[in-house]
Amino acid sequence: MANSTIAAGDTPVVTRRRKVVSRRRRRVQDALVAYSFIAPNFLGFAVFTLGPILFAFVLAFMHWDGSNAMTFAGLDNFWRLFEDKAFIDAFWNTIIYTVVSVPATLACALGLAILLNQKILGRDFFRTAMFFPYVASLVAVAVVWNMIFNPEMGPVNMLLYTLGLDPKDMPGWAADRHWAMVTVILFGVWKSMGYFMVIYLAGLQGINSELYEAADLDGANAWQKFLYVTVPQLGPTTFFVTVMLTIQSFKVFDQIYMITQGGPGTSTLVLVYHIYNEAFVSWDLGYSSMIALVLFFLVLGITVIQFRRQKED
Amino acid sequence: MRIAGQKLTGKLAAIYVTVILITIIMLLPFAWMLSASLKLSSEVFVFPIEWIPSNPQWQNYVDIWTKIPLALFIYNTSKLTIIVTLMQLFTSSFAAYAFAKLDFPYKNALFLGYIATIAMPWQVYMVPQFLLMREFGLNNTHLALICLQAFTAFGVFLMRQFYMSIPTELCEAARIDGMNEYQIWAKIMLPLSKPALSTLTIFTFVTTWNDFLGPMIYLTKTELKTIQIGLRMFISQYSAEYGLIMAASVVALIPVLIVFLSLQRFFVEGVASSGLKG
């Protein structure tokens, strides 16, 4: 205001007002231009993502079969979780899948990255080859996996047989309660380690080579350099990879649907599979949304830990 | 002896042996698939494995087109993938320009809305999303899958991160030259953002082409199915026709292989950069 009284001294009031109006119009116009950039994406995003997310939170506290009237369920769906044996199995199977496949994938990805960070001939080819399973169509490779690990005729068991393993002790892979989870985890590690290898490669290239030179001067051997230079320097990358892998493992579905269908029994039933069954097989939409909320809070927990860690760094 | 300008030491030899062994293990399932696709179903499980079939059944690759509407599945998938990828590229880069280079009310709040959903697994809201689409009458249409995949927070985030690295002075200079914002986006930002656009193209292409759960929920009519669920249907219908199943699997892999190989340089860079910033 003080500025405008000073300005009033040397500019006629009318032009000044016109200027203010045109500036405001200009600002509105700028905002409209900006909104026009956002609108195509935001409208789709709001309707098809934000809306359903909000609806999911409501649905979890409802009873609904999708055709009759929706009724309020209060906490019914929540208490049901504790009595639903399939849910409890699915929950623990998801945790087991995560606890085993995350470190396994991480170790393989790091190992591959270190190997393929060396100056070797055909390095790009090798990197591409390791990455390819990640982009390959899941249905196609899962069928192959089922055939290779076929308990009666598959080449893996045939090889074990040739090596002298008794047919009675042969793992039944996807058809065997005790081996089904192993089969699914092996598949997951094989399919996604190439992707995380690439992230690790980027991390390795970010390490200052002077650190290795200094370690050389101190007479460190390769193992010591790995332990005291590479591993600590890759800390942020490892953390990021762990978070990504954990979230990915919580969401696992496709490969289980293709390889074991959650079985035998409930031995490979996981959360997303249970959500799918409750929603699209039993049409118990409220309860399936409650399971989805469990998944949501698991993922949210991991994300919050990630943010805390990043702040500390 | 020297390889790649290095003396062949014991250590280097060990590295080569390890790398080659791992590569073979990684690619073995694909080799097996290819080999089995040229065999009679009765020969597929013969052990020891005959890697190069002595009597290749090229007929398998002819039969799959008539046993299932494979061509239709490929057409459906290509159509969906191309539309989704184009829409994703357009809407994401368009929105990202505003978030990176323009000022407007509620910018941060809107951007936060995007960020907050990046970590939200689709599986959490797939059921309400399905119910919504059904309400719109989109069940059993391709439009449902397009709406589901074309507007992602990830795309906006990826493009915005890239645009942030382009100097704002370029936009200001263009404004002085009399360009409007749409021209700046089209003539300056887009040509400069090829690496980010390629990354987004590959990510979107691969996810849409390989999507399984989405089409499985939405598409129950055979004539609408994509290659993934079509292949799955084929497997359950002809579970013993191993040779044919493998041939169809090879066909389903080819488009992704082509896109991946032609854009892989960008892909690796994209994974590395977006991965670390994520």
| Enclosing H/E stretch for B28 | helix B10-36
Give the SS3 label for residue B66: helix
Interface probe for B, chosen from A27, A47, A48 (most Cβ of B below 10 Å), is: A48
From the list A126, A139, A201, the residue facing B19 with the nearest CB is A126
CA distance B126 to B144: 12
CB neighbours (10 Å) of residue A302?
Answer: 17
Task: Flag whether pLDDT at A105 surpasses 90.
Answer: yes
DSSP A226: I
Calpha distance B73→B53 (Å, rounded): 28
pLDDT tens across B190-208, in order?
888 888 888 888 888 888 8
Nearest to A303 among B119, B227, B232 (CB): B119
Note whether A174 and A247 are same-domain residues: yes
Strand-pairing partners, residue B252, are none
The total of structural domains in chain B comes to 2
pTM above 0.80, yes or no: yes
Q: In whole angstroms, what is the distance from residue B225 CA to residue B217 CA?
A: 11
> What would the mean pLDDT of A58-78 be, rounded to a whole number?
84
pLDDT tens digits along B126-159: 899 998 998 898 888 999 999 888 888 888 988 8
* Whether A164 and A222 share a structural domain: yes
Whether residues B40 and B151 share a domain: the answer is no
Residues of B in contact with A199 (CB under 8 A): 271-272, 275-276
Query: ω into residue B48 within 30 of 0, thus cis?
Result: yes
Tell me which chain B residues have a C-beta less than 8 angstroms from the C-beta of A188: none
**CB contacts, 8 Å: A41 with chain B:** 91-92, 94-95, 151, 155-156
- Dihedral of CA atoms B44, B49, B51, B53 in degrees, nearest 10, equals -50
In this structure, the answer to whether residues B213 and B229 fall within a common structural domain is yes
Which distant-in-sequence residues (6+ apart) come within 8 Å of B25 by Cβ?
Answer: none
Are both B32 and B124 inside the same structural domain? Answer: no
Report the b/e string of B233-244 with b at 16+ CB within 10 A. ebbeebeebbbb
Contact B253 A56 (CB under 8 A): no
Whether A41 and A101 map to the same domain: the answer is no
Residue B96: which CATH number?
Answer: 1.10.3720.10
CB-based contacts of A5: which residues, under 8 Å, 6+ apart?
Answer: none
Query: Are the Cβ atoms of A140 and B33 closer than 8 angstroms?
Result: yes
Domain finish residue from B57, B80, B95: B57
Mean pLDDT value of segment A234-244: 85
Residues B8 and B146 in one domain: no
Q: What is the ipTM of this complex?
A: 0.82
User: Which residues from B are below 8 Å from A284, CB to CB?
Assistant: none
Q: What is the DSSP letter of B240?
A: T
- Residue with more model confidence, A156 or B146: B146
With an 8 Å Cβ cutoff, are A303 and B246 in contact?
A: no
Q: Is residue A116 part of a domain?
A: yes
Give A112's contacts in chain B (Cβ within 8 Å): 22
Which of A29, A32, A49, A225 should be substituted to probe chain B, the one whose Cβ sees the most B Cβ atoms within 10 Å? A49
> Has residue A75 been placed in a domain?
no
Q: What is the CATH number of the domain that holds A128?
A: 1.10.3720.10
Reply yes or no on whether the pLDDT at A186 is more than 90: yes
B75/B221 Cα distance (integer angstroms):
15
Are residues A46 and A174 both part of a single domain? no
Chain A interface includes B209 (CB < 8 A): yes
pLDDT of residue B56: 82
Low-confidence stretches of chain B (pLDDT < 70) are 1-8, 267-278
How confident is the model at residue B90, as a pLDDT? Answer: 93
Which segment of A33-42, A273-282, B60-69, B215-224 scores lowest on mean pLDDT? B60-69
How far is residue B228's CA from residue A138's CA, in Å, rounded to a whole number?
8
Burial tier of B214 (Cβ tally within 10 Å: 0-12, 13-18, 19+): buried
Query: What are the structure tokens assigned to B229, written together?
Result: 């669920």
- Tell me: do A13 and A118 sit in the same domain: no
pLDDT of residue B70: 86
Q: Does B253 sit within 8 Å of A140, measured CB to CB?
A: yes
Query: Looking at per-residue confidence, does A37 or A16 come out higher?
Result: A37
For A125, the closest chain B residue by CA position comes to: B23
Residue B7, beta-bridge partner list: B2
How high is the pLDDT of residue A91?
A: 93
Query: Are residues B115 and B37 part of one domain?
Result: no
B228 and B98 part of one domain:
yes
The pLDDT assigned to B1 comes to 53
> With an 8 Å Cβ cutoff, are B256 and A137 in contact?
yes
For residue A28, give its domain range: 2-59
Contact between B84 and B145 (Cβ < 8 Å):
yes
Q: Which of A143, A207, A226, A287 to mutate to probe the B interface, most B CBs <10 Å?
A: A143
| Domain range for B259 | 62-277
Do residue B147 and residue B48 come from a single domain? no
A58 touches A241 (CB < 8 A) = no
Alpha-carbon gap, residue A37 to B102, rounded angstroms? 10
* Tokens encoding B220: 């129950």
Determine the distance from the C-alpha atom of residue B216 to the mean position of all C-alpha atoms in its chain, rounded to a whole number: 17
Q: Please tell me the total count of domains within chain A.
A: 2
pLDDT tier for residue A293 given thresholds of 50, 70 and 90: very high
Task: Tell me the average pLDDT across A270-281.
Answer: 91
Q: Which residue has the tokens 């493998």?
A: B246
Q: Count H helices and E strands in chain B, helices first.
A: 14, 2
Nearest to B127 by CA among A66, A255, A138: A66
Torsion, CA B201, CA B204, CA B208, CA B209, rounded to 10: 40
DSSP state of B6: E
Q: Do B127 and A150 touch (CB under 8 A)?
A: no
Residue A43 token pair: 């409208």
pLDDT at A189 > cutoff 90? yes
Residues B66 and B153 both lie in one domain: yes
Contact assessment for residue A53 and residue B124, using Cβ atoms and an 8 Å cutoff: yes
Chain B interface test: which of A45, A61, A127, A201 (most B C-beta within 10 Å):
A45
Q: What is the mean pLDDT of chain A?
A: 85
Alpha helices in chain A (DSSP H): 2-10, 13-45, 51-59, 76-83, 85-115, 123-135, 138-148, 155-162, 177-205, 209-217, 222-225, 231-233, 235-250, 254-259, 271-276, 285-312
Claim to verify: residue B110 and residue B183 sit in the same structural domain: yes
Residues in chain A within 8 Å Cβ distance of B86: none
Q: Residue A9: its pLDDT value, please? A: 46
What is the distance between the alpha carbons of residues A203 and A116, in angstroms, rounded to a whole number? 13
Asked if the structure places residue A259 within a domain, the reply is yes
Q: Is A55 helix (H, G, I), strand (E, B) or coil?
A: helix
Residue A55 with chain B: CB contacts under 8 Å: 125, 128, 131-132
Beta partners for A63? Answer: A71
Query: Which tens digits make up the pLDDT trace of A112-122?
Result: 999 888 888 88
SS3 B3: strand
A242/B237 Cα distance (integer angstroms): 39
Neighbours of A292 (CB within 10 A): 27
Q: How close does chain A come to B232, measured CA to CA in Å?
A: 7
- Point out the residue among A48, A131, A202 whose CB comes nearest to the CB of B147: A48
Instruction: Out of A41-45, A72-76, A120-124, B260-264, pick the least confident.
Output: B260-264
B23/B144 same-domain check:
no
SS3 at position A134: helix
Terminal C-alpha separation, chain B: 44
Question: CB distance from B62 to chain A under 8 Å?
Answer: no
Could you tell me the end-to-end alpha-carbon distance of chain A, in angstroms, rounded to an integer?
A: 45
Domain boundary among B14, B36, B57: B57
